[in-house]
């Protein structure tokens, strides 16, 4: 079969009939089928029943399928955010030399991507204040899981308990449970007090059996955490690692993690570079320089080439699975490099003030929306008397599931947290959309 000229075969296999003949000849067989050394008993003679379609038909088909989604204004957050992604990001990240390249195992011919990843690492070093950031993890949840196994490797003798906040996204909690499943670690929750860490309770829960304390800033409910230094001190007093969850937009404004004693920072780095993509993400992972040999995933370092010029290359690969196998620091191989490229371009295009402004707006937008919705009869917001980034929890006199369902009928998606709590992310609303949303909420919340 000659693929690209007919409807038969793969359109991406460029063999002409003449070439195929010549190649079969050279190999010394008459048909391609002879090349398959598969016992008859396990040969597949059936059909998949997948009809090939044209490019045009598939584009139309998928567009039609996805149009079945309700067109809702999303006030959803809890770890997944949609900041506007400039056109520059799409156009540059789509350059074939970037998009269609593999991992940089031949650095001389992949300096471009290596430099991008080096710059990405550097941006995170600046934002976290920590000495090392890796090339990416899959998402915030797997980054948290990797942080726990890092803690296990660093301080194996001193403890087995990982302490996480009562308020935590389900996905992060469940992925963490699986990542520690192969270790002696156990995961325990500590309570929150009005949206922030209950430091007294945390202190009471801590002793030298703790190996890691995880906290978030902002929290999953959007609260700015006010006791970071105390949390860090508590962790360190008990010989535990302090792991902080955040994201690169919030970090442009909130306390620098290193300044409050964070040993590891994890989070959703995809808040830059990607719009919400049904949960596809990119995990931020940064830590102190002294732990660099225990870091999971790829690291790009600077070196020199034979001309003496500065170059970049993957380094400390002896940590990784392709060399160290079952003693590797992680099983990760394929990561989210292309998303890291997009995040780096996005951050660069915003620049220092642009990034800081985005964070400031996330604070003022949340405040402004809370001020508006709390005027609605039957709604009080924010539930937690804290500063907020992007989002906040609101109380509804009516049952929250009913309010959310009614809002969905009005064209809005919100989180339901409990019987009378909904969570609203202001970030997604355009200026004109605030009034409309508040009107809709007023209709359904009474």
State in angstroms the smallest separation of the CB of 155 from another protein.
19
CA distance 245 to 230: 16
Contact residues for 187 (Cβ-Cβ < 8 A; gap 6+): 148, 161, 162, 163, 164, 173, 176, 177, 180
Q: How many CB atoms lie within 10 A of CB 276?
A: 17
Residue from 19, 207, 290, 443 in contact with another protein (CB under 8 A): 19
Position 83 contacts another protein (CB under 8 A): no
Residue 211's nearest CA partner among 245, 182, 177, 236 is 236
Residue 342 gets the label, from left (phi > 0), alpha (psi -120 to 50) or beta, of alpha
State in angstroms the smallest separation of the CB of 207 from another protein.
25
Site for another protein in 379-418 (CB under 8 A): 387, 408, 413, 415
Residue 386's nearest CA partner among 222, 223, 198 is 223
**Residue keyed to tokens 């194996």:** 156
The contact pattern for another protein, residues 139-158, with x = CB under 8 A and - = no contact, is xxxx------x---------
Burial bucket for residue 102 (CB in 10 Å: 0-12, 13-18, 19+) = exposed
Site for another protein in 418-437 (CB under 8 A): none
Between 170 and 375, CB nearer to another protein: 170
State in angstroms the smallest separation of the CB of 115 from another protein.
6
Position 138 contacts another protein (CB under 8 A): yes
Position 5 contacts another protein (CB under 8 A): no
Between 207 and 331, CB nearer to another protein: 331
Residue 423's nearest CA partner among 221, 223, 275 is 221
Q: What is the dihedral of CA 413, 416, 421, 423, to 10 degrees?
A: -50
The contact pattern for another protein, residues 88-127, with x = CB under 8 A and - = no contact, is x-x-x-xxxxxxxxxxxxxxxxxxxx-xxxxx-xxx-xxx
Site for another protein in 319-378 (CB under 8 A): 320-328, 330-339, 341, 345, 347-349, 351-353, 355-356, 360, 363-364, 367
Site for another protein in 169-228 (CB under 8 A): 169-172, 174-175, 177-179, 181-183, 224, 226
Site for another protein in 62-81 (CB under 8 A): 62-63, 65-72, 74, 76, 78-80
Residue from 275, 397, 402, 443 in contact with another protein (CB under 8 A): 275
Site for another protein in 285-304 (CB under 8 A): 292, 298-304
Burial bucket for residue 374 (CB in 10 Å: 0-12, 13-18, 19+) = middle
Rg over alpha carbons for the chain, rounded to the nearest Å, is 26
Contact call for residues 117 and 337 (beta carbons, < 8 A): yes
Site for another protein in 221-260 (CB under 8 A): 224, 226, 251-256, 259
Using CB under 8 A as the binding criterion, the count of chain residues that bind another protein stands at 187
State in angstroms the smallest separation of the CB of 109 from another protein.
4
State in angstroms the smallest separation of the CB of 437 from another protein.
16
Q: Give exposure, 165-179, as e/b (b: 16+ Cβ within 10 Å).
A: bebbbebbeebbbeb
């Amino acid at each position: 079969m000659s693929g690209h000229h007919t409807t038969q075969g793969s359109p991406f296999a460029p063999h002409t009939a003449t070439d195929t003949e010549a190649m079969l000849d050279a190999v010394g067989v008459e048909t391609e089928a002879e090349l398959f050394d598969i016992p008859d008993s396990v040969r597949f003679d059936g059909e998949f029943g997948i009809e090939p379609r044209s490019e045009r038909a598939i584009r139309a088909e998928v567009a039609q399928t996805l149009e079945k989604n309700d067109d809702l204004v999303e006030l959803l957050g809890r770890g997944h955010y949609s900041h506007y992604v400039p056109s520059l990001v799409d156009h540059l990240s789509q350059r074939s030399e970037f998009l269609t390249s593999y991992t940089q195992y031949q650095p001389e011919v992949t300096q471009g991507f290596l430099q991008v990843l080096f710059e990405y690492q550097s941006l995170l070093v600046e934002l976290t204040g920590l000495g090392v950031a890796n090339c990416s993890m899959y998402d915030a949840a797997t980054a948290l899981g990797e942080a726990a196994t890092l803690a296990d490797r660093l301080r194996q003798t001193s403890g087995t308990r990982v302490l996480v906040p009562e308020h935590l996204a389900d996905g992060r909690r469940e992925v963490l449970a699986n990542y520690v499943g192969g270790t002696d670690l156990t995961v325990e929750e500590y309570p929150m007090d009005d949206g922030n860490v209950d430091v007294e309770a945390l202190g009471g829960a801590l002793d030298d059996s703790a190996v890691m304390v995880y906290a978030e800033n902002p929290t999953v409910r959007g609260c700015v955490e006010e006791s970071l230094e105390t949390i860090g001190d508590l962790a360190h007093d008990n010989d535990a690692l302090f792991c902080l969850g955040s994201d690169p937009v919030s970090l442009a404004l909130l306390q620098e993690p290193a300044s409050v004693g964070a040993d590891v920072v994890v989070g959703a780095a995809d808040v830059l570079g990607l719009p919400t993509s049904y949960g596809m993400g990119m995990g931020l992972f940064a830590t102190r320089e002294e732990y660099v040999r225990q870091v999971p995933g790829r690291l790009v370092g600077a070196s020199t080439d034979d001309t003496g010029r500065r170059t970049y290359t993957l380094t400390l690969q002896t940590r990784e699975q392709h060399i160290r196998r079952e003693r590797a620091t992680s099983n990760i191989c394929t990561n989210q490099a292309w998303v890291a490229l997009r995040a780096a371009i996005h951050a660069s295009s915003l620049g220092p003030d642009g990034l800081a402004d985005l964070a400031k707006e996330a604070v003022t937008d949340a405040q402004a929306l809370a001020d508006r919705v709390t005027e609605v009869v039957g709604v009080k917001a924010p539930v937690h008397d804290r500063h907020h980034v992007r989002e906040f929890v609101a109380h509804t006199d009516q049952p929250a599931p009913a309010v959310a369902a009614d809002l969905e009928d009005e064209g809005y998606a919100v989180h339901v947290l409990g019987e009378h709590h909904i969570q609203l992310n202001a970030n997604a609303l355009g200026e004109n959309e605030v009034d409309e949303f508040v009107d809709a909420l007023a209709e359904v919340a009474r």
